Chains A and B, each alone.
Chain A
Amino acid sequence: MSKIVATRRAVLNAGLGLTVALAASGVISPAAAREKLVINSYGGAYEQIHRKLVIEPFSKKYDVDVQVITAYSADALAQLRAQKAAPQFDVIHFSGGQEVVAAREGLIAPIKPDELTTAKELYPFAIEGLSRGEGPVHAVAAIGLLYNKEKAKKPEKWADLWNAEYKDHIVLTDLSNSYGLLGFLMINKVKGGDITKADPGFDAVKTLLDSAVVVATSPEMQQNFAQNDAWIAPYAQDYAYTLRKAGLPIEFVQGAEGTPAVYLTANLVANRPNQDLAKKFIDFSLSAEVQAGWAQELRYSPTNKATKLDETVSKEVIYGPDAVAGLVRFDPVAVDANRAALVERWKKLIAK
């Protein structure tokens, strides 16, 4: 009996000694210091899905805590700037092109393609920014034409907006909305302008104003399709899905001239201690399974070539090399520099 006790004590002591030795050598860490990542998400339905697809599975797989702070892109950039001396985030997601500014200001750290296991599976546009110090694109919200399939003929191209058959049934979006801004930049491009030369776009919009409604928010867009007999609107693909879920007969068309898109990026914050874990998180959000989930749940288009989608979903997102080739990106630096001037000119144009 006493022998057994003595043996047990010896084992315990040995175990304790081993634990101390391991802890000292850094192989294992005490339970209290479980690793933690701080990231931002955009709130609402997006954040719910974000948790379900990325945050919770990642947290389980690597046994780490992931703390989510709800902050939209502009807020997140402002916070990063304010925290420059002592950053509080590990991974920052942007959707409005802020990664370009953040990289320029040294707020985010560059990632090398070989640090991402998924890099080879991504479309070139998704890792194009890595060389400039930006994070990879983990999802895309495409902008095209939403139309009511029960009331109107299917549009083929952006220029169809000016067809007489849609007169009095057009909805345009205010430039204070980023989908609206991209829609306008595309109209401007189609009419022969560019970011520094916006006259063609404004002239073209002017001819639509008498027979169009201008809205500022997504719910107003829904209201116009539901109540006000709207037939066509330049807007985002994921919102077309939201409208369909609300029971409206709305379809999305990629304009033949190209598809501008909101690029959602995941960025590595500079000067943080656990960058390896943060890189794993970013890598995880680029995986084909996660991206298939985004397409399934919210109709964001995947940036990973290996993403497998079923037929219904694949028709409702930008899917496959041919579709991706149609994506248009406006230089975020130039857009940022011209935004205030564009918005003011737009307000003057549309005011009655």
Chain B
Amino acid sequence: MSSSTDNGVVGTPTLPPQGVSTRVLGGIAEDATLSAPGVFLIVLAFILPIGQMLLLSIENAGGGLTSEHFTRFLGDSYYLGIVWRTLRLSLLITVIAAAIGFPLAYVMAHVGPRLRLWLIVLVILPLMTSVVVRTFGWMVLLGRGGLVPFTLWKLGFVNRNFTLMQTESAIVIGMVQVLLPFMTLSVLGVVMKIDRRLEEAARTMGASFLATLRTVVLPLAMPGIVAGSLLVFTLSVSSFITPSLLGGVRLPVVAGSIYEAATKTLEWNFAAAQSVILLIGVFLVLLPYLKLTGRRHG
């Protein structure tokens, strides 16, 4: 072991000669050598750009340090309103995606393998199409005279032929459709692994179907639901194509606001500050969630 380590490390000084410490040090050196290319890539592709962004967010016009971009954002009810809309919609989207995704995954786990394969294909199929294309599809369906408003009108739920476009409902509908596969597949992976006999035992002991779901399946499926929710939440908090196309300019979200600042008004420092705030915001929401579930299911 130790000799192979020494061969593996080119140019390292001769290691201390004695037993355990040699092996430990050799192990560390080997780890470092093995991980070096990966670490290099991570630094290059993730840490460097994010560091650059952090720097940009606290830089003023003259190149000095400042907190003006943060105070501008956090001291303005307009921008706080955007944050509130973003969080509110993302939570709503996550809850709806879980409410649809869990039953769907449960059904998929319990049907025969052939049908399951087809269902999985159906769930994955939309992912093969660009988000932009799917969003355009929703623009047709939700616009004036589109299938959804037209049906609601003909069924008598609304009084006139209206449009659902440029409403928060449109954003939620579009985003749930876009993100549902992530939730369904996350839950499916976990539900598939739940021992079917646990459910049978619960039923034998007299639990109803719903009681079994609530007391046995749901708690066991929690890691999948949590993983799916995290995915859906983070993706929806940071997406801007679907909200800006379906919601329009009058319903801005944080990611859209960053895009505007970076590409339209060319205020890069302000865009960077907003990105940092979004990043911290997502962490603050996710941290307790992760901690709680991590301890229980990790």
Interface residues of B in 231-258 (CB under 8 A from A): 244, 248-252
A-B contact count (CB 8 A): 49
Q: B163 an interface residue at 8 Å Cβ cutoff? A: yes
Identify A352's interface contact among B139, B143, B251, CB under 8 A.
Answer: B251
Identify A216's interface contact among B81, B145, B249, B251, CB under 8 A.
Answer: B249
- B145 x A350 contact (CB < 8 A): no
- B78 x A351 contact (CB < 8 A): yes
- B249 x A340 contact (CB < 8 A): no
- A340 x B78 contact (CB < 8 A): no
Q: Which 5 A-B pairs have the closest CB atoms?
A: A176-B264, A348-B78, A174-B249, A340-B265, A216-B249
- In the complex, A348→B266 CA distance in Å? 18
In the complex with contacts A351-B81, A351-B252, A228-B144 CB distance below 8 A: yes
A-B contact pairs, 6 of them (CB 8 A): A213-B248, A216-B249, A228-B143, A347-B249, A351-B250, A351-B251
Closest chain B residue to A340, Cβ basis: B265
**B interface SS class:** loop
- A347 x B264 contact (CB < 8 A): no
Q: A211 an interface residue at 8 Å Cβ cutoff? A: no
Binding site for B on A (CB under 8 A): 74, 174, 176, 213-216, 220, 223, 227-229, 339-340, 343-344, 347-348, 350-352
- In the complex, A227→B143 CA distance in Å? 8
Q: How many residues of B contact A (CB 8 A)?
A: 21
Identify B143's interface contact among A174, A216, A223, A339, CB under 8 A.
Answer: A223
Give the shortest distance, in Å, between A234 (CB) and chain B (any CB): 15
Identify A343's interface contact among B144, B244, B265, CB under 8 A.
Answer: B265
- In the complex, A348→B244 CA distance in Å? 16
Interface residues of B in 30-68 (CB under 8 A from A): none
Give the shortest distance, in Å, between A152 (CB) and chain B (any CB): 17
Q: B267 an interface residue at 8 Å Cβ cutoff? A: yes
- A229 x B144 contact (CB < 8 A): yes
Identify B249's interface contact among A74, A215, A344, CB under 8 A.
Answer: A215
Closest chain B residue to A352, Cβ basis: B250
- In the complex, A215→B163 CA distance in Å? 15
Q: B166 an interface residue at 8 Å Cβ cutoff? A: yes
Q: B260 an interface residue at 8 Å Cβ cutoff? A: yes
- A227 x B145 contact (CB < 8 A): yes
- In the complex, A174→B248 CA distance in Å? 10
0/1 string, B104-139, CB within 8 A of A gives 1 = 000000000000000000000000000000000001
Give the shortest distance, in Å, between A259 (CB) and chain B (any CB): 25
- In the complex, A220→B260 CA distance in Å? 17
In the complex with contacts A213-B166, A223-B143, A228-B163, A176-B260 CB distance below 8 A: yes
Give the shortest distance, in Å, between A351 (CB) and chain B (any CB): 6
- In the complex, A176→B244 CA distance in Å? 13
